[in-house]
Amino acid sequence: MMKPIKVAVAGATGRMGQEVVKLIQREESLVLSGATARRKKGEDAGEAIGIGKLGITLTDSLDEVLAQGPDVLVDFTTPDQVKANTERAIEAGVRPVVGTTGLTEEEIRELDELCRDKGIGGIIAPNFAIGAVLMMVFAAKASRYMPHLEIIEMHHDRKLDAPSGTAWKTAELISKEREEMKQGHPEEKETLEGARGGYRDGFRVHSVRLPGLVAHQEVLLSDAGQLLTIRHDSLNRESFMPGVKLAVEDVMNRTGLVYGLEKILDL
Ligand SMILES: NC(=O)C1=CN([C@@H]2O[C@H](COP(=O)(O)OP(=O)(O)OC[C@H]3O[C@@H](n4cnc5c(N)ncnc54)[C@H](OP(=O)(O)O)[C@@H]3O)[C@@H](O)[C@H]2O)C=CC1
Ligand SMILES: O=C(O)C1=N[C@H](C(=O)O)C[C@H](O)C1
């Protein structure tokens, strides 16, 4: 049997980090080698998230976790932590699998260069749910034929960033397929600031934040007499785990960093 992949988790007590720790526990091909969290540091990682003792103590020191020699670091922390965490992982020769949103295109390019210099693989995916990736790719394809469109993303009200990483990625994929064009009335005026949402490459992106939601997105595309709605709903955070597992396995066999799960799926 193959040796299990040693996975460390940054942000292990967060909404996503907890799911990743549970994923690692149920997969024989993965083993938890370390975990970071600040508020629950010193506690056992399993006990802290209610799944029983795992023998891994939570620490707020990423360097301590990296010194254990994991193969992969999975990061679900915050937009202000992720760049530094990922740089430190790569410098330590640990392959990053990043779900945390908020990295700019320039930062992603820098991290790719670092990975290549080290000869290791990495992936940054704003959304690990396979259905969400399909929604983004289908919407981008549809935009070639139906270029009038708007993106509406809807999330829980604990989310820090707007628009979501998924909406940014969708916009990027659409902008590669669709000729830039202005939509709506040329003399349109907002009488309530923000009413028309954010603007990118000629189309609008709207962010909704409500308690009880998880992660949802609609891309509305229209033409005379017709509306195409491409929608994805993550109903819980387990929905992201098959994609996380795929990414952890993938980075073991690549050099350089990819941005987007669609790059490692055979679509
Ligand atoms: N790619 C994808 O598929 C998905 C991406 N996301 C993204 O993942 C990120 C996390 O989301 P979510 O889990 O909901 O957020 P949470 O706020 O629930 O979790 C973030 C966790 O990070 C921990 N944390 C923050 N800073 C540090 C630090 N310096 N060291 C150690 N731990 C730290 C926090 O714990 P403490 O304060 O105790 O340290 C917290 O538990 C967001 O950017 C979100 O957009 C979310 C869902 C899916
Ligand atoms: O914060 C979240 O919850 C999510 N964040 C990611 C994003 O910003 O797109 C992925 C998913 O939408 C859930």
The mean pLDDT value for 3-27 works out to 98
Residue 1 has pLDDT above 80, yes or no: no
Looking at the structure, tell me whether residues 14 and 86 fall in a common domain. yes
- What CATH number should be reported for the domain holding residue 202? 3.30.360.10
pLDDT band with cut points at 50, 70 and 90 for residue 196 = very high
Looking at the structure, tell me whether residues 111 and 213 fall in a common domain. no
The mean pLDDT value for 67-87 works out to 97
Looking at the structure, tell me whether residues 109 and 144 fall in a common domain. no
Looking at the structure, tell me whether residues 140 and 165 fall in a common domain. yes
- What CATH number should be reported for the domain holding residue 106? 3.40.50.720
Query: Does residue 256 have its Cβ closer than 6 Å to ligand 2?
Result: no
- State how many domains the chain has: 2
How high is the pLDDT of residue 42? Answer: 98
pLDDT band with cut points at 50, 70 and 90 for residue 250 = very high
Query: Does residue 207 have its Cβ closer than 6 Å to ligand 2?
Result: no
pLDDT band with cut points at 50, 70 and 90 for residue 64 = very high
36 is in an annotated binding site: no
Looking at the structure, tell me whether residues 119 and 144 fall in a common domain. no
Cis peptide before 186 (omega within 30 of 0): no
Residue nearest to atom 1 of ligand 2 (CA): 159
Query: Does residue 118 have its Cβ closer than 6 Å to ligand 2?
Result: no
Residue 96 has pLDDT above 80, yes or no: yes
Q: 197-223: per-residue pLDDT in tens?
A: 999 999 999 999 999 999 999 999 999
Looking at the structure, tell me whether residues 107 and 171 fall in a common domain. no
Looking at the structure, tell me whether residues 28 and 116 fall in a common domain. yes
| ipTM given for this complex | 0.98
Residue 194 has pLDDT above 90, yes or no: yes
Supply the pTM of this predicted model: 0.97
Contact 123, 96 (CB under 8 A): yes
How high is the pLDDT of residue 2? Answer: 84
Q: Considering the chain, what is the average pLDDT of its residues? A: 97
Query: Does residue 209 have its Cβ closer than 6 Å to ligand 2?
Result: no
Regarding predicted confidence, which is higher, 179 or 42? 42
How high is the pLDDT of residue 82? Answer: 98
198-200 sheet: strands from edge to edge: 198-200, 203-209, 148-155, 215-223, 226-234
φ and ψ at residue 178, rounded to 5 degrees: -105, 135
Residue 182 has pLDDT above 90, yes or no: no
Q: How far is the CA of 88 from the centre of ligand 1 (A)?
A: 17
SS (HEC) of the chain: CCCCEEEEEECCCCHHHHHHHHHHHHCCCEEEEEEECCCCCCCEHHHHCCCCCCCCECECCHHHHHHCCCCEEEECCCCCCHHHHHHHHHHCCCEEEECCCCCCHHHHHHHHHHHHHHCCEEEECCCCCHHHHHHHHHHHHHHCCCCEEEEEEEECCCCCCCCCHHHHHHHHHHHHHCCCCCCCCCCCCCCCCCCCCEEECCEEEEEEECCCCCEEEEEEEEECCEEEEEEEEECCHHHHHHHHHHHHHHHCCCCEEEECHHHCCCC
Looking at the structure, tell me whether residues 111 and 187 fall in a common domain. no
Looking at the structure, tell me whether residues 75 and 115 fall in a common domain. yes
127 is in an annotated binding site: yes
Q: 102-120: per-residue pLDDT in tens?
A: 999 999 999 999 999 999 9
Looking at the structure, tell me whether residues 40 and 118 fall in a common domain. yes
Q: How far is the CA of 82 from the centre of ligand 2 (A)?
A: 14
Contact 102, 80 (CB under 8 A): yes
Where in the sequence is the domain holding 160, given as residue range(s)? Answer: 130-234
Q: 142-158: per-residue pLDDT in tens?
A: 999 999 999 999 999 99
Looking at the structure, tell me whether residues 120 and 11 fall in a common domain. yes
125 is in an annotated binding site: yes
Q: How far is the CA of 75 from the centre of ligand 1 (A)?
A: 8
The mean pLDDT value for 230-237 works out to 98
Looking at the structure, tell me whether residues 30 and 118 fall in a common domain. yes
Task: Give, for ligand 2, the residue of 103, 158, 159, 168 to mutate: max count of ligand atoms closer than 8 Å to Cβ.
Answer: 159
